[in-house]
Amino acid sequence: MKTQTGIRQKISTNGKSNGYRTHGKLKTSIWEYSKSVEDSKHIQLKSEYDLFIGGKRIKTKKYFDTINPSNEEVIAKVAYASDEDVNKAVNAAAKAYDKVWSKISAKERSKYIFRIARILQEKAREFAVIESMDGGKPVKESKSVDVPLAIAHFFYYAGWADKLELAFPGRKVSPLGVAGQIIPWNFPLLMAAWKIAPALACGNTVVIKSAETTPLTLYKLAEVIEEAELPEGVVNIISGDGATGAAIVRHPKTKKIAFTGSTEVGKIIMRQTAGTDKKLTLELGGKAANIIFEDAPVDAAIEGIINGIYFNQGHVCCAGSRLLVQESIKDIVIKKLKHRLKSLRVGDPLDKNTDVGAINSKMQLNKITELVQSGIDEGAKIYQSECQLPSRGYWFRPTFFTDVAQSHRIAGEEIFGPVLSILTFRTPAEAVEKANNTCYGLSAGVWTDKGSKIFKVLSKIRAGVVWSNTYNKFNPASPFGGYKESGFGREGGKHGLEGYVK
C-alpha cells in the first residue's frame, strides 16, 4: 500500500490508511476533536511587501510570491533584493552606524530594544498567526514558543546594552559596525530576535535577510521597529534568496556575518569570509542523539521523544532525530511510541488542536520523501502515523524507523522533517560512541533516573546544547550553538554578546 505520496512500502500499522478503524458498520475514530481555528480576521497583511531600508519602503525590480504551505495559496508578493538593493541596505546601515547609533548612549540603545519587546508583546497574537500562515507551524507552537521567546530575547538583551563592562570584565569592548544577518525558514521571527537583539545591544547596526519561504513576520517586525522609532537605517530588513545572502556576505562594509542555515551554505560562507576582517558565527545543521536509558521514566521520555522530533514538523536544527534506546527497553518504548503517534493531530496550522502542521515547502517535502525512501531501500523498517492528511498543501506523516544501522543515510543525514531514526545500545559507553558518531554536534538529550549518569554521559558528548530528562527547552539567558559541522559561536546568554564586539 501507499503510505505517503511517492513512498513505496508496506507499513507496519493495522493497514488502514486514514486513521479510522471500521468495526462492522460502526466507524470509530481516534481522538476526534472539534475544530478550534484561530481567528485570522484581525491580521493586517498587505498584498505586496517592499524592502525596509533606511526607514523607508524601497521598491525592487522583481517580486516573488510567499505562499501558505498548508493550502498552497499566495499570501503576498515580496520584494527580491538584488546586489544593488543589498548595497543600498548596507550603506544605509553604515550611515546609521556612523551618524547615530555609535554616538548615542548605551542606555538609549537599551530603551529602543526594550520598546521593540513591548510592542511585540502587544502584537503577539498577530505575529503568531502570521508565522503559522507563512511557515506552516501549529499556532499552538508559534503562540507559546516562537513569539514569547522572541520577545524574551529582546527584553534580555535590552538589559545587557548598558552593562557590557559587566559582561566583559577587565576588557574594553566596542561594536563592529554593520552586522549582516542571514536566517532560515524554520523559526523566522525567533531567529531574527536571536540576531537583531544582541547586535543592537552591542552597538551595531543591522541588515537582515529572511529566508525564501518565510519573509512575512520580518516585514511585520519592520512595522514594530518603525513604531518603536528606531533611528532610520539602524535595522534594515530585506528578502531574497541565496544570491541576496551572498551579496550581504561579500559586501566590504559588513563587519560581522551571523548565519543560521545549512552546513553546506555555512561552508561556502566560511570560505568567502576567510582572510577578511569580518567576524563570523555559524549555526548549522544537527543530527542529535536523544538517549533513553533503561532506568528512565519511560512515559516522560516518550513525551520528550515526541517533542524532540515532531515539534515544528521536525524542522529544528537541534531536533532529537536519532533515538538511542537501551536494548532492554526497546520493545516497550516502540510500543508506547506507536500508541502516542496515534494521538498526534496533523493538519491545519491555525487549528489550536493541531500538533503537527504543514511541511514548510514543496522543496523540503521532496527532500524528506527522498531520505525516507532511502531508509526503506537500505533496509530500515518504517512506521507511520495513520492520520488523515489534508488534500492540499505539503504534508508528511509523523514517521519513525526501527532496525536502523549507523551506516544508513537516515542515521547520518539531517532530514529536517518529522522522521525519527531509532538505534539501540547496550552500555553507556556504546551510547556515547554512537551519539558522537556524527559530523554534527549541536545538541543531545539523556533520560535516566541517575543524576551521576547524566553528568558522566553528557560530559562525554560533543554537543553544544544538552538536555537531561527534557528536550527542546530554550531560554534567552542560555547560550546556543554547536561543535564540529554544526558551526561555531554562541547565540543567547552573555556568550551571545561576544560575536558582536571587538
User: Which of 215, 261, 464, 493 is close enough to bind ligand ADP by CB under 6 A?
Assistant: 261
How far apart are alpha carbons 359 and 282 in whole angstroms?
Answer: 24
Closest approach of ligand ADP to the CB of residue 36, in Å: 31
Find the part of the chain contacting ligand ADP (CB under 6 A) among 182-190, 192-200, 460-468, 494-502.
182-190
Q: Is residue 365 close enough to count as binding ligand ADP by CB under 6 A?
A: no
317 is catalytic: yes
Q: Which is nearer to ligand ADP, 26 or 274 (CB)?
A: 274
Q: Which of 104, 106, 268, 298 binds ligand ADP (CB under 6 A)?
A: 268
Task: Determine the Cα–Cα distance for residues 401 and 422; give it in Å rounded to an integer.
Answer: 6
Residues, the chain: 502
Least Cα distance to 127 among 113, 112, 148, 111 occurs for: 148
Nearer to ligand ADP, 112 or 185 (CB): 185
Contact 398, 300 (CB under 8 A): no
Catalytic option among 283, 413, 485, 498: 283
Q: Is 211 in the site for ligand ADP (CB under 6 A)?
A: yes
Nearer Cβ to ligand ADP (261/441) = 261
Q: Return the number of the residue (4 or 254) whose C-beta is nearest ligand ADP.
A: 254
Q: How far is CA 313 from the centre of its chain?
A: 10
Answer yes or no whether residue 479 interacts with ligand ADP by CB under 6 A: no
| Contacting residue, 86, 90, 139, 269, with ligand ADP by CB under 6 A | 269
Shortest Å, Cβ 406 to ligand ADP: 24
Contact yes or no for 416/369 (Cβ under 8 A): no
Q: Are 63 and 79 in contact (CB under 8 A)?
A: yes
Closer of 241 and 277 to ligand ADP (Cβ): 241
Q: Does 212 sit near ligand ADP (CB under 6 A)? A: yes
Task: Check binding of 64 to ligand ADP (CB under 6 A).
Answer: no
Collapse the DSSP code of 318 into the 3-class scheme (helix H, G, I; strand E, B; otherwise coil) and give the result: coil
Nearer to ligand ADP, 222 or 249 (CB): 249
Alpha-carbon gap, residue 181 to 260, rounded angstroms: 8
Q: State how beta strands 235-238 and 289-292 pair.
A: unpaired
Given 188, 203, 245, 286, the residue binding ligand ADP (CB under 6 A): 245
Residue 468: beta bridge partners? Answer: 446
Rounded to the nearest whole angstrom, what is the least distance from the CB of residue 6 to ligand ADP in the complex?
A: 20
In whole angstroms, how close is the CB of 184 to ligand ADP at the nearest point? 4
H or E segment to which residue 162 belongs: none
Strand, coil or helix: what is 170?
coil
Please identify, among the stretches 18-26, 63-71, 238-246, 423-431, the one whose residues bind ligand ADP according to the rule CB under 6 A: 238-246
Q: What interhelical angle do 428-436 and 451-458 show, nearest 10? A: 40
Radius of gyration over alpha carbons of the chain, in Å? 23
Q: Does residue 82 belong to the site contacting ligand ADP (CB under 6 A)?
A: no
Report the residue number, 253 or 381, with the smaller CB distance to ligand ADP: 253
Query: Whole-number minimum distance, CB 336 to ligand ADP, in Å?
Result: 31
As measured in angstroms, the least distance from the Cβ of 333 to ligand ADP is 30
Distance from the first to the final alpha carbon of the chain: 60
Q: Establish if 270 lies at the interface with ligand ADP (CB under 6 A).
A: no
Instruction: Give the residue among 190, 253, 181, 245 at the shortest CA–CA distance from 221.
Output: 190
Q: Determine which one of 202, 317, 318, 387 is catalytic.
A: 317
Q: Does 182 bind ligand ADP (CB under 6 A)?
A: yes
> Phi-psi region for residue 487, left (φ > 0), alpha (ψ -120 to 50) or beta?
left
Residue 265 interacts with ligand ADP (CB under 6 A): yes or no: yes
- 184 is a contact residue toward ligand ADP (CB under 6 A): yes
CA distance 460 to 466: 11
Three-class secondary structure of residue 136 per DSSP: coil
Measured in whole angstroms, the distance separating CA 237 from the mean position of its chain's CA atoms is 19
Nearer to ligand ADP, 216 or 246 (CB): 246
Q: Of these, 113, 201, 246, 411, which contacts ligand ADP (CB under 6 A)?
A: 246
Alpha-carbon gap, residue 326 to 435, rounded angstroms: 13
> Does 283 participate in catalysis according to the annotation?
yes
Applying CB under 6 A, among 89, 249, 380, 382 the residue interacting with ligand ADP is 249
CA 466 – CA 488 distance, rounded (Å)? 16
Pick the piece of the chain touching ligand ADP (CB under 6 A) from 136-144, 257-265, 273-281, 386-394.
257-265
| By CB under 6 A, residue 188 contacts ligand ADP | no
Query: Which DSSP symbol is given to 253?
Result: T
Return the residues of window 383-442 that contact ligand ADP according to CB under 6 A. Answer: none
Residues 6+ apart with CB under 8 A from 297: 447, 449, 469
Q: Take residue 312 and report the three cell numbers written for it.
A: 515544528
Contact 156, 194 (CB under 8 A): no
Least Å distance, CB 348 to ligand ADP, is: 24
Question: 273 vs 399, which CB is nearer to ligand ADP?
Answer: 273
Whole-number Å distance between alpha carbons of 88 and 204: 17
- As annotated, the active-site residues are 283, 317
Residues at the contact surface with ligand ADP, assessed by CB under 6 A: 182-184, 209, 211-212, 241-242, 245-246, 249, 261-262, 265, 268-269
